[in-house]
């Protein structure tokens, strides 16, 4: 199930030809891939790297299995279990692909070059340079949306990258240990132990559920005196959480949260954040608006994504992109509209689908097929051309050669007949705490909605099977067993 996400089995490693060239092959085009997230990695996984000089550029030298990131914030899963080094992925490709750990800061569409900056702490003599490309695949994803709300960047934690999950894990324990400090005033204990999550999408809901589990399973046992004061509040601007799920599952999630003592504030829009409080506007049932101030110890901001500066800049260089707001508008073959030799996948591309990992990985796999086919097409066209030229020179061999040409032309037609990208939705899953999950899964021609403990087992097995490698799968399973047997590790 959910095989559409694309990483179900990753054990078909092929060994590369050891005599391969590490220097670029001047007869091949340079294909640059930006990013190492769901879209780019799905693309690289399926791409036949022997057809191009492949260069991968990303500030992150690993692929991150983001669906399990909320579990890292409480130590239920250790972060290295959901990371897969990019060089490890590239090592098993048919032909060598280069990797630069760097941030691509600008794509110059006229000169066809990419400016890159080494973003590591240790700088070499060269830390800024340019990489030319013949073909470019942009899969840089998106960044956290703050909507310009004052104080968000300074005071809240995001939940997008491994370092975010690590920062949250440290901050939770900081709040707990400070709340347990001798002679702490009761109102300060309440503030420190109030964990506020803004955004009722799947990220916010899953994090709130994991947090509650952590307190109920572990903190309660280890620091029982402060445990009763622990509180989780989820703030959502819309009338309900998880808008992409069916009504039945939304109701189930909200009632489960009530049982778990997770306070949900819907129709509540955060307007300002300070180092200790969240200021929000609540719309009452009568439509009247009122303001509230909520003190917090930890604030997690999960209100969705927005464009990265490199994407905004790229769009500004292409006149056909001027009306696109949410990202690079692509056609049904994922070509960036109005561009020359640029394709886009994942959250930075607007192809008419929600920006999810499932969409990104299907786009990446589709584009790899397209690139493999393009290379095969060129190869066949060359062969047909060579044979046709020979035909004129050697009239005696025409029968055999005409037959061969006809065969090659048939192959060519088949390859060129690649259907446009079409997303096949496999379903949505979310963990909601207390060993319960919700699932809206595509089944035959309809949808199956389910929630509860059995769905949680399904959630676990689906996520386990979707992990990138067997190594990841084993590590995640061991982390779950470890947390169950010995509890989560609360050391900072
Ligand atoms: P999201 O965009 O799904 O949800 C963000 C929520 O924040 C929205 O409901 C919005 O109304 C609310 N919001 C925005 N500004 C606010 C404010 N000022 N005050 C209060 N609420 C505010 O974001 P996400 O959960 O980070 O997900 C991002 C994307 O990734 C989505 O497409 C999602 O479907 C996908 N995703 C899926 C899963 C899953 O399927 N399990 C998990 C994580 C993410």
In tens, the pLDDT along 353-363 reads 999 999 999 99
pLDDT digits (tens, 9 = 90+) for 391-406: 555 555 677 778 888 8
CB contact at 8 A, 273 and 150: yes
- Provide mean pLDDT across the span 427-440: 96
**What is the model's pLDDT at position 390?**
67
Find the 144 Cα to ligand 1 centroid distance in Å: 10
Residue to probe by mutation, ligand 1, list 201, 355, 363, 440, most atoms within 8 Å of CB: 201
301 Cα to the center of ligand 1, angstroms: 10
Averaged over 324-346, what is the pLDDT?
Answer: 96
Tell whether the model's pLDDT for residue 127 goes beyond 60. yes
Q: Which of helix, strand or coil describes residue 73?
A: coil
Q: Partners of 108 in the beta sheet?
A: 113
Residue 126 pLDDT level (bands cut at 50, 70, 90): confident
Expressed in angstroms, the distance from the first to the final Cα of the chain is 37
> Using CA atoms in the order 402, 408, 409, 410, what is the torsion angle rounded to 10 degrees?
110
Tens-place pLDDT, residues 155-206: 999 999 999 999 999 999 999 999 999 999 999 999 999 999 999 999 999 9
pLDDT in tens, 238-265: 999 999 999 999 999 999 999 999 999 9
**Where residue 61 falls among pLDDT bands split at 50, 70, 90?**
very high
pLDDT at 491: 86
Pocket of ligand 1 (CB under 6 A): 67, 147, 149, 198-204, 235-238, 243-244, 269-270, 302-305, 354-356, 428-430
Token pair belonging to 471: 């190594």
Question: By the 8 A CB rule, do 192 and 293 touch?
Answer: no
Say if strands 289-295 and 277-283 run parallel, antiparallel, or are unpaired. antiparallel
Q: What is the pLDDT of residue 1?
A: 38
- CA–CA distance, 192 with 174 (Å, rounded to integer): 9
Task: Write the DSSP string, 219-281.
Answer: IHHHSTTTGGG-EEEEE-SSSSS-TTS-HHHHHHHHHHHHHTTEEEE-SEEEEEE-SSEEEEE
pLDDT at 4: 42
Residue 20 confidence (pLDDT) above 60 = no
The Cα 355–Cα 462 span in angstroms is: 20
State the angle between helix axes of 357-393 and 398-416 in degrees (0 to 180), rounded to the nearest 10.
160
In angstroms, the CA 47 to CA 412 distance is: 19
Cα 243 to middle of ligand 1, angstroms: 9
Residue range 339-346: average pLDDT?
A: 97
Question: Is the predicted pLDDT of residue 77 greater than 90, yes or no?
Answer: yes
Q: Ligand 1, atom 12: nearest CA belongs to which residue?
A: 199
Residue 482: per-residue pLDDT? 97
Arithmetic mean of pLDDT, 465-475 = 96
List the domains of the chain with CATH numbers. 3-142+307-368 (3.50.50.100), 152-305+426-486 (3.50.50.100)
Q: What per-residue confidence (pLDDT) applies to 391?
A: 57
- Among the atoms of ligand 1, which is closest to the Cα of residue 244? 34
Percent of the chain residues topping a pLDDT of 90: 81
Give me ligand 1 centre to Cα 189, in Å.
Answer: 29
Query: Cα separation of 354 and 377, whole Å?
Result: 32
State the residue for tokens 């996948």. Answer: 345
Q: What was the ipTM of the complex prediction?
A: 0.97
Q: Whose CA is nearest to atom 5 of ligand 1?
A: 303
Mutate which of 68, 304, 352 for ligand 1? The one with the most ligand atoms within 8 Å of its CB, which is 304
Residue whose CB lies within 8 A of the most ligand 1 atoms, among 65, 200, 203, 210, for a mutation test: 203
Ligand 1 centre from 313 Cα, in Å?
25
Cβ atoms within 10 Å of 40's Cβ, excluding its own: 28
Q: Which pLDDT value is given to residue 406?
A: 86
| Residue 429 alpha carbon to ligand 1 centre in Å | 14
Round to whole Å and give the CA distance between 198 and 147: 13
* CA–centroid distance, residue 327 to ligand 1 (Å): 17
Q: 28 CA to middle of ligand 1, Å?
A: 42
Out of 155, 197, 202, mutate this one to test ligand 1's pocket (max ligand atoms within 8 Å of CB): namely 202
Q: Which residue has the tokens 């589990």?
A: 213
Look at residue 341 and tell me whether its pLDDT is greater than 80.
yes
């Amino acid at each position: 199930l959910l095989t559409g996400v694309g990483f179900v089995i990753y054990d078909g490693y092929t060994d590369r030809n050891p005599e391969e060239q590490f220097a670029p092959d001047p007869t091949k085009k340079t294909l640059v891939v930006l990013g190492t997230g769901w879209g780019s990695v799905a693309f690289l996984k399926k791409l036949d790297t022997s057809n191009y000089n492949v260069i991968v550029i990303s500030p992150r030298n690993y692929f991150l299995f983001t669906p399990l990131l909320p579990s890292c914030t409480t130590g239920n899963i250790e972060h290295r279990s959901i990371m897969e080094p990019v060089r490890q992925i590239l090592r098993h490709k048919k032909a060598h692909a280069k990797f630069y750990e760097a941030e691509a800061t600008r794509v110059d569409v006229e000169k066809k070059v990419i400016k890159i900056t080494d973003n590591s702490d240790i700088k070499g003599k060269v830390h800024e340079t340019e990489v030319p490309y013949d073909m470019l695949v942009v899969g840089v994803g998106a960044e956290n949306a703050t909507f310009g709300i004052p104080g968000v960047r300074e005071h809240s934690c995001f939940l997008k990258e491994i370092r975010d999950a690590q920062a949250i894990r440290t901050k939770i324990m900081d709040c707990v240990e400070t709340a347990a400090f001798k002679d702490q005033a009761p109102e300060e204990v309440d503030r420190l132990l109030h964990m506020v999550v803004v955004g009722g999408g799947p990220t916010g809901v899953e994090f709130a559920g994991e947090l509650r589990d952590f307190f109920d399973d572990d903190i309660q046992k280890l620091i029982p005196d402060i445990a009763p004061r622990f509180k989780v509040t989820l703030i959502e601007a819309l009338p309900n959480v998880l808008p992409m799920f069916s009504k039945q599952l939304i109701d189930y999630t909200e009632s489960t949260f009530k049982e778990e003592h997770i306070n949900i504030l819907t129709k509540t829009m955060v307007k300002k954040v300070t180092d200790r409080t969240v200021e929000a506007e609540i719309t009452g049932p009568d439509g009247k608006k009122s303001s509230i101030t909520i003190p917090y110890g930890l604030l997690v901001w999960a209100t969705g994504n927005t464009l990265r500066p490199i994407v905004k800049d790229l769009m500004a260089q292409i006149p056909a992109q001027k009306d696109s707001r949410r990202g690079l508008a692509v056609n049904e073959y994922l070509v960036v509209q109005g561009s020359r030799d640029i394709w886009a996948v994942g959250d930075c591309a607007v192809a008419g689908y929600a920006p999810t990992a499932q969409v990104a990985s299907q786009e990446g796999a589709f584009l790899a097929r397209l690139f493999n086919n393009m290379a095969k097409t060129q190869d066949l066209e060359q062969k047909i051309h060579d044979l046709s030229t020979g035909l004129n020179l050697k009239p005696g061999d025409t029968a055999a050669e005409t037959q061969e040409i006809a065969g090659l032309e048939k192959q060519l037609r088949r390859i060129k007949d690649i259907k446009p990208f079409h997303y096949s939705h496999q379903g949505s899953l979310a963990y909601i705490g207390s060993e319960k999950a919700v699932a809206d899964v595509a089944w035959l021609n309809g949808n199956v909605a389910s929630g509860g403990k059995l769905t949680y087992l399904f959630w676990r097995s689906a996520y386990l099977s979707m992990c990138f490698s067997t190594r990841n799968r084993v590590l995640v399973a061991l982390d779950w067993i470890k947390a169950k047997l010995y509890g989560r590790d609360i050391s900072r």
